[in-house]
A and B are shown apart, each in its own frame.
Chain A
Amino acid sequence: MTLAAHNLSLLRSEVTLLADINLAIDPGTITAVLGPNGAGKTSLLRALTGELTVNGRVTLQNTDIQDWPHAERAKCMAVLPQHSLLDFPFTAQEVVMLGRMPHDSGAAQDRAIVKAALSMVDCDYLAKREYTRLSGGEKQRVHFARVLAQIWEPMTSGDRFLLLDEPTASFDLAHQRMAVDIVRRLRQDGVGVMIILHDLNLAARCADQIVLMQCGHIYVSGAPADVLTAQTVRDVFQVDVEIDRHPYSDTPLVIV
């Protein structure tokens, strides 16, 4: 039971946005997608959610993503975009409550889940504050809590997936670490996670699979130690780096 891309390609006005993408995101694993700006990371994410119509097939639990009723898909797949357009004065807890929309779990349970999700992203103190008055990092954490609330409980009917587009972009150091801890906990609970990142070391520390993209292609993918080499980083980012071992986790450590 997987979220999988089969031979995806996408051409927009003569520009290749995606080409020959084959990818599987298994339940209970973390896939980190890395690559320079404009490499097609967000396009890939949007193709996986069925939002972009592409050539090729995206399947969620063996059913074509386009054939899933919206309401059913929302129960098992949550997506956190890079930016939010929200400009209305909901309170933080109301924003998180929107994540419970696909479920019929009842108001009492929803409230408990919203509270727990807010506290998981260290936002208890924001619950009753107006979203529009929060800082960039706080807003991003509130949306993080929203997608967590959306896939909070295990499903009887299948696996859960979480797709995150640069969730840590506006996080401080402590909250970056918090995000990694949360994602790891989700992996333990059997959630399939795809996360777009710019921090190679953050990716190396949490991912089971790293997908390195360049110009719409997957340049290389596999275990962090196989993907993150001085050679691939130079090829994709045109930056010379040294690769060492992380002293505690023994994952690759990229030294710029």
Chain B
Amino acid sequence: MRQLAPNLLMLILVVLLFPVLVTALLLGPVAITPAEFLEILSDGGDQIELAQGRLILWDIRAPRVLLSALVGLCLAVCGTAMQGLFRNPLADPSLIGVSSGASAGASVMIVLGAGSLYQFGPLAGLSSVTLGAFVGGFLAVLLVYRLATSSRGTSVAIMLLAGIAITALAGALNSLFSFVANDEMLRRISLWQMGSLDAANWPRVWIAALATILLMAILPRHSRALNALLLGESEARHLGVSVDLVKRRLILLTALAVGASVAVAGTIAFIGLIIPHIIRMLIGPDHSYLIPGTALAGAILLVIADTVARVALAPAELPAGILTAMLGTPFFFFLLLQKRRLEDASL
């Protein structure tokens, strides 16, 4: 049952986003009071006593909060696109192999011990692990896509199966590299797989921003096509959608955006699955509202989760991926139970 008018939900989310972002900027092991916050914003950089606050705000917290928002947005919107494309409300961007490919790529780089790319100007601040993850994720999707595509188009069923196979293969690679890794590498691999935003810096923010801009510039134009695709591919064709073109674009776009997200923040579970679900339950499956709605909600949720992760055990930090999974799994069970109850009731 629908509970909200789509426009009302957009309004609520937009109004929520701003205080959530500001609160996230203020909270942390070293709290910044609202008064200090305003002073730092208005100050031109002259006051020595604000130097520490300025440093924390601009160099540590702002990139981190922005990165959380952008990654949350990308994951949630890509989940929406995948669920629409696969006509499966349980689909998730990781289904097509992006996440597992990326984590295999990251493990390879961690174990091979390639250093950081500080010497290359524009890539400064990005570790080789980030790059490895992006390449790994993209390769996995490319392979899945090629396997599922024949002259007759891309088979969604084969793509799902190929995605599962690639996930298994990448998992094996992961285990292999974990096996040969030493203790320090092992810890880095496992931390990376938990998904965490603690390595946030401005270069990572720019990468995530680029992916987000591409995603949000192209995807909303296909929202009507996604609605038609929910009817089935041949019906969508009868309604004038160039199905193969749309599929290709959405898959590439998702691979790019999820690949970038995973590369900068590790594998953060469940945002891509639960956010589209929640928003769809509230306003229905129309993608012209679903895409902006999940974008805002994904950003808000990950910012909140990351803030809790920073504050809960301060000065230690929980990986945000643990929190999203801990929140996500019970909700997922609830959805499954509810679906079963509905099916029982209709028998």
List the interface of chain A (C-beta within 8 A of B): 46, 49, 51, 53, 70-75, 77-79, 81, 84-91, 94-95, 98-99, 101-102, 130, 133, 150
**Chain A's nearest CB lies how many Å from the CB of B229?**
10
Q: Name which residue of chain A comes closest to B152, CB basis.
A: A53
Q: Which 4 A-B pairs have the closest CB atoms?
A: A74-B240, A85-B232, A71-B240, A102-B240
* Cβ-neighbour of B241 out of A70, A87, A95 (below 8 A): A70
Within B266-302, the residues touching A (CB, 8 Å) are 280, 284-286
* Cβ-neighbour of A102 out of B87, B232, B239 (below 8 A): B239
* Cβ-neighbour of A86 out of B1, B230, B234, B237 (below 8 A): B230
> CA A90 – CA B239 in complex, angstroms?
17
Q: A79-B234, A88-B280 are in contact. List 12 more A-B contacts (CB 8 A).
A: A46-B234, A51-B234, A73-B240, A77-B238, A78-B238, A79-B235, A81-B234, A87-B87, A87-B230, A94-B284, A94-B286, A101-B228
> CA A73 – CA B240 in complex, angstroms?
7
Q: Is the CB of B227 within 8 A of A85?
A: no
* Cβ-neighbour of B232 out of A53, A84, A91, A95 (below 8 A): A84
B242 at the interface (CB under 8 A from A): yes
Q: Which residues of B contact A78 (CB under 8 A)?
A: 238
A-B contact pairs, 19 of them (CB 8 A): A49-B238, A51-B234, A53-B152, A74-B238, A79-B234, A79-B235, A86-B231, A87-B89, A87-B230, A88-B89, A88-B280, A90-B230, A90-B285, A98-B228, A99-B239, A101-B227, A101-B228, A102-B239, A150-B239
Q: Given A49-B238, A71-B240, A89-B285, are A98 and B227 also a contact pair (CB < 8 Å)?
A: yes
> CA A89 – CA B152 in complex, angstroms?
30
Q: Name which residue of chain A comes closest to B285, CB basis.
A: A88
Within B169-226, the residues touching A (CB, 8 Å) are 224
Q: Which residues of A contact B286 (CB under 8 A)?
A: 90, 94
Main SS class of interface, A: mixed
Q: Which residues of B contact A86 (CB under 8 A)?
A: 230-232
> CA A98 – CA B240 in complex, angstroms?
11
Q: Is the CB of B224 within 8 A of A81?
A: no
> CA A74 – CA B284 in complex, angstroms?
26
* Cβ-neighbour of A98 out of B87, B152, B231 (below 8 A): B231
Q: Which residues of B contact A77 (CB under 8 A)?
A: 238
Within B54-108, the residues touching A (CB, 8 Å) are 87, 89
Q: Is the CB of B240 within 8 A of A89?
A: no
Q: Which residues of B contact A79 (CB under 8 A)?
A: 234-235, 238
Which interface residue of A53, A75, A98 has the most chain B CB atoms within 10 A?
A: A98
**Chain B's nearest CB lies how many Å from the CB of A139?**
12
* Cβ-neighbour of B240 out of A70, A87, A91, A94 (below 8 A): A70
Q: Name which residue of chain A comes closest to B235, CB basis.
A: A81
> CA A88 – CA B89 in complex, angstroms?
8
Q: Is the CB of B227 within 8 A of A91?
A: no
Which interface residue of B230, B238, B240 has the most chain A CB atoms within 10 A?
A: B238
Q: Which residues of B contact A75 (CB under 8 A)?
A: 240
Q: Is the CB of A91 within 8 A of B228?
A: no
